Structure 1
Amino acid sequence: MKDAFGIPQSLLVLGGTSEIALATTRRLIARRTRTVWLAGRPSHALERSAADLRALGADVRTVAFDALDPESHETVLGKVFAEGDIDMVLLAFGVLGDQARDERAPLNAVRVAQTNYTGAVSASLVSASALQSQGHGSLVVLSSVAGERARRANFIYGSSKAGLDVFCQGLGDALHGTGVHVMVVRPGFVRSKMTAGLEEAPLATTPEAVATAIELGLRRRSETVWVPGALRVVMSALRHVPRVAFRRLPI
């Protein structure tokens, strides 16, 4: 069960090598979290991540999980929940893709969509059902400001995050009153391995800053978290820029 401040004692991370997920997990372990499941494709990176977290004092286990194999999600995640209640599920997997390359290779674009949207829809529904059955818990989903409005530079990635964001808003409404809390996190440009080599956008942030915002959101039981918070105002303004003018913006 969560403590009086809303911090989970047990955590399931879907995307166990995500820098944001690991920063969040480290922060939660420093507070109250003691049991962690890292789910992801089997790799040395996943095992290293687990070892690093164990060194912080948590009981950390790994589980083989593939976002692109939704037929396995009920079985894989069901085994985790069968081990005991999970206070929080952090859905942190996703791929950025390469916009220019993926436009020329539609199957690459499909893979981005399948990972970021259909795989996430499957994992979210399976997790939400398990959380509802146990009567409590939070589902925290990493979305992106890229989903707020289609941009020429990344509309394949952005459209996948837009779909996931809308889906999770609806899922949160569907679960209202059940004891399950759904929180959508919308970071801007995050300095990480995923964005290495890309031109940094204004209001860039870090995995640690996103982790801090997630913890605060849990304490407040927020439904939407922007990182940094100023992006809420910025994106609200951009949504209302006329399309003919929006196309001229250097974004």
Structure 2
Amino acid sequence: MKDSLGAAQSLLVLGGSSDIAMATARKMAAARTKKIHLAGRPSQRLEDNAAELRKLGAEVDVVAFDAAATEEHDKVLTQVFATGDIDVVLMAFGVLGDQAEDEKDPVRAAAVAHVNYTGAVSSGIVVAQALKKQGHGALVVLSSVAGERARRSNFIYGSSKAGLDAFAQGLGDSLVGTGVHVMVVRPGFVDTKMTHGMEKAPLATTPDAVADAIITGLRRGSHTVWAPGAFRYVMSGLRHVPRPLFRKLPL
């Protein structure tokens, strides 16, 4: 449960190696979040992230979780919730893929969709039911502006995020009145390890800036958060560009 000042006491991160997730966890640990579950594929990076959060005063446990292993989600996540109530769940896993290569290989293309969409649906359903059962909590879903309108340069990734975004919004609507809040976060280009070496897009941002937007959104009870906020207007315009013109844009 949240403390008397409204700060979340517990956090579950699905995708504990994510730069955005780690930036958010750091800020929450500094703001009195005492219990953090870092779930992700076992790696040294995951262990290092846990150690860093422990130095900030949080009690941290590492959970073996693979977004692609949907058959394991119910068991793994149910065990986490059995340890006590969780105030905030941050769904931060995802893969970018390589559009040029993925277009040549249907197995690779399907793997991107499986992690970003199917993995999110599977784990999202488990989390939603657990939060509903405890009667409170927030689920934060990292979507992307790429899901607003699929572009030819990344339509595989973009379509998977479009599906995720629609799922999360519908899930949030289904949970109204249960005490559970779903917040969709739509970052633009974020300078992380996943985008290392790529040319920065306009309105590029940082993990810390997205983390600030997440925390502000939670405090306000927002349903949708754009990071940076200017993307709300940019994408609104882009959605309405006629397709013949859209196809000519260098996107």
TM-score tier by shorter-chain length is over 0.9
**Deviation at residue 3 of structure 1 after TM alignment:** 3.5
Q: Which amino acid aligns with 1:241?
A: V
Letter in 1 for 2:208: E
Unaligned runs of 5+ in 2: none
Match of 2:167 in 1: 167
Query: What are the residue-to-residue correspondences of 1:132-147 with 2, within 5 Å?
Result: 132-147=132-147
Q: Give the 3-state SS of the residue equivalent to 1:104 in structure 2.
A: coil
User: What TM-score do the two structures reach when normalised by structure 1?
Assistant: 0.99
Offset, 1:44:
1.0
How many angstroms does 1:2 deviate by?
1.9
Give, in whole Å, the separation in 2 of the partners of 1:44 and 1:195: 20
- What letter matches 2:72 in structure 1? S
Deviation per residue, 1:46-90 (Å, 9 max, x gap): 111100110111000001001111111111001110000000100
Distance in 2 (alpha carbons) for counterparts of 1:97 and 1:208: 23
Contact 1:36–1:59 (CA under 8 A) maintained in structure 2: yes
Partner of 1:125: 125
Kindly provide the amino acid, as one letter, of the partner of residue 102 in structure 2: D
Residue equivalent to 1:45: 45
In structure 1, the residue corresponding to 2:225 is in which secondary structure? Answer: strand
Q: Is the 8 A contact 1:38 1:46 kept in 2?
A: yes
TM-score (norm 2): 0.99
What amino acid is aligned across from residue 149 of structure 2 in structure 1?
R
Distance 1:167 1:97, change over 3 A: same
Paired residue secondary structure (2:103): helix
For residues 228 and 41 of structure 1, the distance between their equivalents in structure 2, rounded to whole angstroms, comes to 29
Deviation at 1:4, TM superposition (A): 5.3
Identity percentage of aligned residues: 69
CA–CA separation in structure 2 for the residues paired with 1:222 and 1:4 = 21
5+ residue gaps, structure 1:
none
| In 2: Cα distance, 1:40 partner to 1:189 partner | 23
Q: Which residue of 1 aligns with 2:92?
A: 92
SS at the partner of 2:22?
helix
Q: Which amino acid aligns with 1:84?
A: G
CA distance in 2, matches of 1:205, 1:7: 26
SS of corresponding position for 1:149: coil
TM-superposition CA deviations, 1:97-154 (whole Å, max 9, x none): 0000000011001000000000010011000000000000000000000000010110
Residue type of the alignment partner of 1:41: R
Deviation, 1:43, is 1.1
The answer to whether residue 20 in structure 2 is matched with residue 20 in structure 1 is yes
Letter in 2 for 1:242: P
Question: CA–CA distance in 2 between the matches of 1:3 and 1:187?
Answer: 29
In 1: Cα distance, 2:161 partner to 2:82 partner: 30
Shift of 1:250: 1.5
Q: Tell me, in whole angstroms, the C-alpha distance in 1 between the residues paired with 2:235 and 2:38.
A: 32
Distance 2:209 2:97 in 1: 23
> SS in structure 2 opposite 1:93?
coil
Q: Return the alpha-carbon distance in structure 1 between the equivalents of residues 113 and 13 of structure 2.
A: 20
Query: What secondary structure, in the 3-state scheme, does the structure 1 residue paired with 2:100 have?
Result: helix
| Structure-2 separation of matches of 1:191 and 1:6 | 31
